[in-house]
Amino acid sequence: MKRNFMSLSIETKLIISFFIAVSIPIFILFYVSTYLVTQHVDNMQTERIHAAQRNIINALDKEMNTLHVDNIDYSHWSDMYNATIKRDNAWLTDVFAILSSPQKGVDIVIIADANMDIIYQSNKIADFKKDAKKFIVRAAKGDEFVTFADIGGQVYYISFASIIDYGFTEKHAGILIMGKKFDKRVIDNLPASYNFDFDFIHQGTSLIGGTDSEEYKKYTEAIAGNKSYNNSKTAFYAITDYTYEPIMYLHIKEVGDFIGDTRAHYLKGFIIAIVVTYLLALIILYMIKNSIMKPVRKLRNKVRSLRGEGAIQIENDWNELTALTEEFEIMTNEVVSNANTLEEKNKELEYLVYKDDITNCYNKKYFRRYFREIIEEVERNNDTASLILVDIDYYKYYWEFAESYQIEDTLIKISQIINGVLMETQGRCELCYDGGDEFAAIMIGVDYINALETALEITRRVSEASFWGMERMPKGHLSVSCGMANFPKDTMDYDKLVKAARDRLERTINHNEGKVGYFYSIFNSLKDDIEESKKVVTYMSKAFLSVIDAMDQYTYTHTEGVVKYSSIIANELALSKEEIDNLKIGALLHDIGKLELGRELLNKKDKLTDEEFVLIKQHPTFGVNMLKTLTYFENAIDIVKYHHERFDGKGYPEGIKGKDIPLGARIVAVADSFDAMTTTRAYRTRHKSYEEAAEELIRCSGTQFDPDIVNAFLGYIDRNGFKFLLLE
C-alpha cells in the first residue's frame, strides 16, 4: 500500500523538507557561479591570445622598420643617386653584396627609374614588376613605406624609398626597393609567447609546418561563409600589405589547457563545499532528531501513557552540539582553503595580463588603463604625483649587435636599478615597461623637486652600472634619458601631463641624451613675471621661436636655457624689474636672426666653410633688421645685435669692447656660451659637463666675457651648486 507525504512521520517530513530547502539554493548558486567563472576565464583566454598576437606583431614591425631605415639611408646617398642615373651596375652589385651579408640579410635589391622601369635587380624574381605594381606606382608618387607582399608565390617584406639627390638638386632619380624573404630565418627571431605556439600560413600552407591544417580549413570555410569562427584555444589574424590586402595569416594556439585546469580546480573546490554543506545538514538533522525531537517524544510517551499505551524507548546519549561544532570547523577550513586557492589563481591570471614577462614590471596595457585612475585619485585626495619617462639611449644600435638574451639581461638590470631608486623615495611608486626601449615610473606622493632628484639619480646609476657590450656604445657606456612632469605643478590634465613628459623626453634625447628633461616653459614664466603692457611681446616672441623650432629644435631648447641663466645673473646683479623684463625679452630673441639662415645650415653636422661661417656671423645683424621695424622690440635690439661681442674687442659684428658693450648683451653672452657648452649640437655629439663649462667661463673671463658677470654667475653656483637645473 502506497504512503503519501502527509502520512509520513513528523521526523521524516523534517528530514525531507530540510534537504529540499538546502539543495535548491546550492544548485542555483552552482549554476550561476559556474556561468560567471566560465565567462571570466573565457574573457581572460581571449585577452591572453590577443597579448601573444601583439607581441608577435610588434616584433614583425621592428624587423620591417629596421629594413626600412636601412633602405631610406641607402636611398639618400649621393653615390646611390649617381649610380642610378649612370646605370652603374657594378657599384650597385657591390652594395648588394654588403646588404646580403648575414648581418643585414637582404634578399633582393631592385632599382626602378622615374618611369617605373626596373634598371637593376640583384636576384631575378619572375613577375616582380607585375606582382608589386601597385606598390611601385604608389612609391613613384613619392611615398616611402614598408609592406608585406606576395611576390612569385613567396612572402616578402619590402621597403620602398625614393632615390633623391638631397645634397644638391633634390631631383628624383627612381625608387630603391629592398626585400627580405619571410621564412624560417625571420620566424626564428620572433619572441616566444607564454603558453602559446604560433605559425604563419600562406596560401593554405604552413611556413614552419606547425599548424593543424584541419583547423585552418575550418577557419577559411567560416570566413568564406561570413560566419563567425569559434575556438577559445586558437585564433587566426590576417597579416596585410600596405593596402590592407591579406597576405598571410598568423595562427596562435594554446599549448596545454590552462583555462581548463582553472575551471577543474574551481569545480573541485565547489564540490568539496557542497559535500561539506550536506554533511553540515546531516549534523543539523541529527541534532534535530536527538535534541529537538526528544522532548516531543517524551511528550508523546506521556500522552500514550495516559491513554494506557506503552512508552517509546529512546536511546541517544551523544552530544550533538560538540559534533556540530567539529563538523562546522572542518567545513570552514575547507572553504578558507578553497578561497585562498582561487585568490592565487586570480593573481596568476592578472599577472599574465598586466605584467611584462621579461622585466616583471607592469606593461603598457596597465599604464594605459590605470594611470588615468591614479591621477584622478590623486586629484580627489589633493595629493601630488610625478611621471618619469625613461628612454634607453641608442637602444636600436645596442639591439642590432646584442643577442636577445643579452638584451633581456640588460632590460632586467635597468628595471632593477630604476626600482631600486624608486624604493628610496617616500611615495608609492610603480614601474611600467612598454616592451621596447622605454620605462614609465609613476610616483604618487612625490613632489616636483624630489621627482627631479629621483630622475637624476636614475640617470647616474645607469651610466655608472656595468652592462654587456657597453664598450661598443657611442659613449663607451650605456645611458638613459628622462623626461619628467608633475601633477598638479605642471598641469592638472592627464593627457597634458603625459604629453609634457613625452615632449621633455624627446628634447632631452635630441639635444642632451643621458640627462633629465623636466617640464619647464619659459613662456609660462614670462607670462607670469612680465608686466601686462609687455605681454604682447612675449606672444610675438613665441611665434618667432615656433618658426625657428620648425627649422632647428636645438635653438628653441637653447633659448630656454639662455633665458633661465640670464635671469639668474640679473638677479645676482640686483637689476630693476624693468631691466630684468627687457633682458628676458632680449634673451628670448637673441638668435631670431637665424630665421634667415635656413634649415640645412642650422643643422649641418660637417665643418662650416668660410662662406658659411661669414653667413652665420651675420645672424645678429639679420635679427636687428627684423626687429627694428617693430615698435615693441626696441629695448631688445642692443642685446640681439651685440651678444656675440667679446670683452677684449675681438667679437662681432662691430668689435666693440669692455663696458661699451651693453650690459644686457654682456649677460646674454655668458648665458649663451654656458648653455651652448653644456648641450649637444648638430656638429658635436659630446658636450661639456657643468663643472667643465664653469672652468671655461673662468678661463675666458676678461677676454671673451665680462669678469663681473662671470663672478656673479659663479657666485650663484658656489652658493647653490648646480641646483639651478631644478629651478621651479
**Strand ranges inside 405-479, DSSP E:** 428-433, 438-444
Structural element, H or E, at residue 389 = strand 385-392
What averages of pLDDT result for each successive group of 10 residues across the chain (728 residues)? Answer: 53 67 74 70 73 83 88 85 85 85 84 83 79 84 88 88 76 87 74 70 73 64 59 77 85 72 71 77 68 55 51 42 43 67 75 82 86 86 91 88 89 92 88 89 89 89 89 84 86 83 77 57 54 58 62 67 89 91 87 80 78 86 84 83 94 92 95 84 64 91 94 89 51
pLDDT at 393: 87
Residue 317 is predicted with a pLDDT of: 38
What pLDDT is attached to residue 641? 92
- Look up residue 662 and give its DSSP letter: -
Q: Which amino acid is at 385?
A: A
Cell 607582399, residue located: 149
Closest C-alpha among 499, 484, 478 to residue 447: 484
Q: Which helix (H) or strand (E) holds 691?
A: helix 690-699
CA dist 711 and 715 (Å) reads 6
Identify the CA nearest to 163 among candidates 97, 85, 95.
Answer: 85
Predicted pLDDT of residue 655: 92
Q: Would you list the DSSP string of 25-37?
A: HHHHHHHHHHHHH
Reading the block at residue 646, the C-alpha cell is: 667679446
Q: Is 122 exposed, middle or buried (0-12, 13-18, 19+ CB in 10 A)?
A: buried
- Which whole-number Å values give the CA distances from 131 to 118, 163, 526, 606, 728, in the listed order? 13, 22, 59, 42, 60
Q: Which of 161, 156, 159 is nearest to 180 (CA)?
A: 156
**Which strands form 234-240's sheet, in the order they lie side by side?**
205-206, 196-202, 246-254, 234-240
Q: Using an 8 Å Cβ cutoff, are 458 and 417 in contact?
A: yes
So what's the pLDDT on residue 680? 64
Q: Which residues contact 162 (CB under 8 A, 6 or more apart)?
A: 75, 139, 142, 144, 172, 174, 175, 176
What 3-state DSSP class applies to 249?
Answer: strand
Q: Pull the grid cell for residue 472.
A: 661598443
Q: At what angle do helices 577-588 and 522-529 cross, to 10 degrees?
A: 150
Instruction: Please report the beta strands in 131-214, taking only residues with DSSP state E, as ranges in sequence order.
Output: 145-151, 154-164, 172-181, 196-202, 205-206
Question: Which 3 state secondary structure label does DSSP give 119?
Answer: strand
Q: What is the pLDDT, as a whole number, of residue 333?
A: 63
Question: What pLDDT sits at residue 644?
Answer: 93
- Which residue from 518, 371, 375 is spatially nearest to 455, judged by alpha carbons? 518
The pLDDT of residue 519 is 45
**Predicted pLDDT of residue 193:** 59
Provide the whole-model pTM: 0.42
Whether the upstream peptide bond of residue 191 has omega within 30° of 0, thus cis, is no
pLDDT computed for residue 725 by the predictor:
47
Q: What pLDDT was estimated at residue 223?
A: 60
DSSP state of 355: B
Quick one: pLDDT at residue 319? 37
Q: What letter does residue 102 receive in the DSSP assignment?
A: T
